[in-house]
Structure 1
Amino acid sequence: MNVRLSLLLCFPLFMMTFVSFATERETISPPRKLTAEQARVAAKNYQRYCALCHGKEREGHANDHAPSLRSKSLMESGVPHAIVRPMSYGREGTAMGGYLDEVGGPMTLAETWDLTYWLWEQAGYDRLQFSTKPVLGDSVAGGKLYQQHCTSCHGVNGEGVSAPALGNQSALAHNTDEFIRHAIENGRQDTPMLPFKDKLSPAQINNLTAFLRSKASGWTMNKPVLRAMPKPEQYIVNPQGDDPNFSLQDGMYVSSNDLNDALNGKKRMVLLDTRVPSVWQTAHIEGAIPFPYYADLDETVAGIPKDVQIVAYCSCPRAAADHTIKKLRRKGYTRTAVLWEGVFGWMNLGYPVVRRDVKNSIH
């Protein structure tokens, strides 16, 4: 299975029966029609913010297993929230950051909705009518099916291997059971996620849906306290320190171990977090400045001298950082490197990050 999953709402599952679903569904009216100007801006925003991972033609899997945004089974699912919520707030614990301004991203709420509707217009599929009713099934039996069919791509605990993490709690909170079931049944066209309707019975698909739903319990959300953006005089880490002397793999990459040694040794550097700033707010390597891959380079390099060692990182683990460093090198910045493992690899190796402050835990 390979679903980038936006999957799941929050229905607890205690029942052991199942219901079947008709193969024919009613269609619903399309979203509002964008004006020519709204469509122009949305298309520009897609190429600026989304194409790096989702592909210039919305084909998906350009980087970080990002899903196809033209897949028939996804775009006919009829739930705009399946797109706008992860776009707006991201998927915590994944490379998908939040692009809404209120969480530190670059787009207004209106722009995120316009981009969502633009994606539907580009896909051109009729939207199917789904209910919000739970899919009832045997979650224990579904767990056995998951271990049999899904772990090689999605991981034993839904952590994601070569496909999206199905155990991601923000994903488990936002989409309906029928949305999930439709993805399992029909796959995701033009991706490695094949349809299971010819491999599993309707009851088995219900059971697998029920198993995934059962992993959504206990999800809570905290309201972030946004940090102030660093000022240029704060860009250089250890400004009085010596320069590091990294041995770069392929002339580009520095290991987490070497970077950690340099930080502990108080070496003089600039650390660039090339993700969307909302995830910099969530967690970043201490001293890193938000330097999003899509930003205007002439503006973002202001205040960064060319004689300092620059290390960029992202969570892809390298796509956005590679993209940024290549642009910097074309600008004449030669003392540049990319963190090989990315920030998730850095954290998984046990190296420290600064995490956001939160308040007012909400459910």
Structure 2
Amino acid sequence: MTRSTKSARFAGQFYILLLFFLANVAQAQTRNAPLTKIDAQRAEQNYQKYCALCHGADREGNAADYAPSLKSRSLMSTMPLNFLASSIGFGRPNTAMAPYLADTGGPMSMKDIFTLAIWLKYKAGHETIELSMEPIEGDLNTGATLFVQKCSECHGSKAEGVTAPALANPAFLAFATDAYIKYAIENGREETEMKAFKTQLSQQQINDLTAYIRSLTSGWSPEPKELSPYPEPKDYVTNPTGKNPTFTLKQERYVPMEQVAKAIQENNKLVLLDTRTSSEWHNAHIPGAIPIPYYISEDKVAAGLPKDDTWIIAYCSCPHAASDKVINMLRKKGFKNTAVIDEGFFNWINAGYPIIGGQPE
């Protein structure tokens, strides 16, 4: 079978999976079936394992990477179950919110994701607010001006997200209705920096702003990827015959990304750990990096890693939370030459340093 045939076949399977996924979420939302005690316990365990690092142990948000509060009434009462579950399953492309569905390379089954979404809605404890599905009309030019004035400081000049979520994200806009966006503008998000604008802007201005944000969408079409095999322990060390690099650490932990890039360019010996979710590693990673996700158990974190003078450098998107967690586990086990890329993966990309996809050509 040729690669193009395999890719086409995989693409077909992927979109069937997506439709099946959404259909099941919609069915679960209609049934609104209560969770069993076992399912609720499983959901809470998965939350603490995969989500608490960024969203907080009690769902309060902003534990890392400006992740939103999952207790906020205005968020959890208006976010439909299919929106919440798809966000967990397929993530938000180009943000720190990774896809967690197993078929995208993540660690969770479809049932686990359904159960977690239902549990989050239940724990939030807010009655669902039914919002209109009708489109909202507004003036795009006025909306663009308002966005720069009122939103860009936190959401970014191109709505790419800075300290607040990316609004130009196609996965977000594929599920967020106009009414959902408008409600957030009007009422803000409790327990976050997102304030309510209903007393600052007129209804027409809010409609203009809503219409502008909606105009940023280009549809959601996640590119299916074949999942590559994970590296073998024999391949963990990059340039095993090379010299050890010299790093200058901040706070005895953080290494500037330019020093890591230089070490790679000069073929120095080191190990790179991608501590994001495995699905993110499949999508793109620093050349030579091996996936050691932050949710790995402490008894498995060191498997296959050299315990000698080889430098072990971790990175994540946050830019520190996930990589700090893994490095802490390794240091606890006696690994000495360990560090975290200070600026994180997104800044590595923005600086033009090399990355590769998980599936080699």
> Common fold, TM-score beyond 0.5?
yes
Deviation at 1:130, TM superposition (A): 2.0
Picking from 328, 331, 334, the partner of 1:329 is: 331
1:118 Cα offset (Å): 0.4
Give runs of aligned pairs for residues 1-363 of structure 1, distance below 5 A: 31-217=32-218, 219-307=220-308, 308-356=310-358
The equivalent residue for 1:8 is none
- The one-letter code of the counterpart of 2:259 is D
Please state whether the residue corresponding to 1:300 is helix, strand or coil: coil
Question: Normalized against structure 2, the TM-score is what?
Answer: 0.88
Asked if the contact 1:29/1:127 (under 8 Å) is kept, the reply is no
User: Deviation of residue 219 (structure 1)?
Assistant: 4.9
Per-residue deviation at 1:357? 5.2
User: Equivalent residue of 1:338, what SS?
Assistant: strand
Q: Deviation string for 1:295-345 (max 9, x for gaps)? A: 112223111121121000001111111111112111111110000111111
Which consecutive unaligned segments of at least 5 residues does structure 1 have? 1-27
Residue 148 of structure 1 aligns to a residue in which SS?
helix
Residue 162 (structure 1) shift: 1.9
Tell me, yes or no, if the aligned pair for 1:51 and 1:58 is still in contact at 8 Å.
Answer: yes
Over residues 186-234 of structure 1, what are the superposed CA-to-partner deviations in whole Å (9 max), with x where a residue is unaligned? 1100111011111112221111110000010355332112111111111
Residues 272 and 122 (structure 1 numbering): CA distance in 2 closer, same or farther, change over 3 Å? same
Aligned-partner residue type, residue 351 of structure 1 = Y
SS of equivalent residue, structure 1 residue 93: coil
How far apart are 1:167 and its partner, in Å?
1.6
SS in 2 for 1:297: coil
SS in 1 for 2:163: coil
Give 1 or 2: higher strand fraction.
Answer: 1
Deviation at 1:135, TM superposition (A): 1.5
Q: CA RMSD in A?
A: 1.7
Quote the residue 1:9 is aligned against. Answer: none
Distance 1:228 1:357 in 2: 8
Residue 114 of structure 1 aligns to a residue whose secondary structure is helix
Is the 1:80–1:116 contact (alpha carbons within 8 Å) kept by the matching residues of 2?
yes
Residue identity in the other structure for 1:118: W
Deviation at 1:93, TM superposition (A): 1.0
TM-score by length of 1: 0.88
2: CA distance between counterparts of 1:30 and 1:184?
30
Deviations 1:30-84 (A, max 9, x none): 8321000000000011011001100111011111110010100111115112211
CA distance in 2, matches of 1:297, 1:114: 26
Q: Give the C-alpha shift of residue 358 in structure 1.
A: 11
User: Structure 1 264/29 Cα, relative in aligned 2: closer, same or farther at 3 Å?
Assistant: closer
Is the contact made by 1:254 and 1:340 (CA closer than 8 Å) also made in structure 2? yes
**What amino acid is aligned across from residue 310 of structure 1 in structure 2?**
I
* Offset at residue 169 of structure 1 (A): 2.3
Partner Cα distance (1:357, 1:296) in 2 = 26
Aligned residue identity for 1:244: P
User: 4+ runs of 1 displaced by more than 3 Å?
Assistant: 356-359
For residues 343 and 123 of structure 1, the distance between their equivalents in structure 2, rounded to whole angstroms, comes to 32
User: Does the 8 Å contact 2:301/2:329 carry over to 1?
Assistant: no
Partner amino acid, structure 2, of 1:239: P
Contact 1:135 1:209 in 2 (8 A): yes
Helix, strand or coil: the match of 2:300? helix
Aligned residues of 1:306 and 1:335 also touching (Cα < 8 A): no
Mapped partners of 1:125, 1:51: distance in 2: 20
CA distance in 2, matches of 1:176, 1:358: 37
In structure 2, the CA distance between the partners of 1:147 and 1:30, relative to structure 1 (3 Å rule), is farther
Residue segments in structure 2 that go unaligned for 5+ positions in a row: 1-28
Flag the structure with higher helix content: 2
SS of residue matched to 2:224: strand
Q: 1:280 to 1:78 in 2, by over 3 A?
A: closer
Q: Check the 8 A contact 1:271/1:288 in 2, yes or no.
A: yes
Letter in 2 for 1:226: L
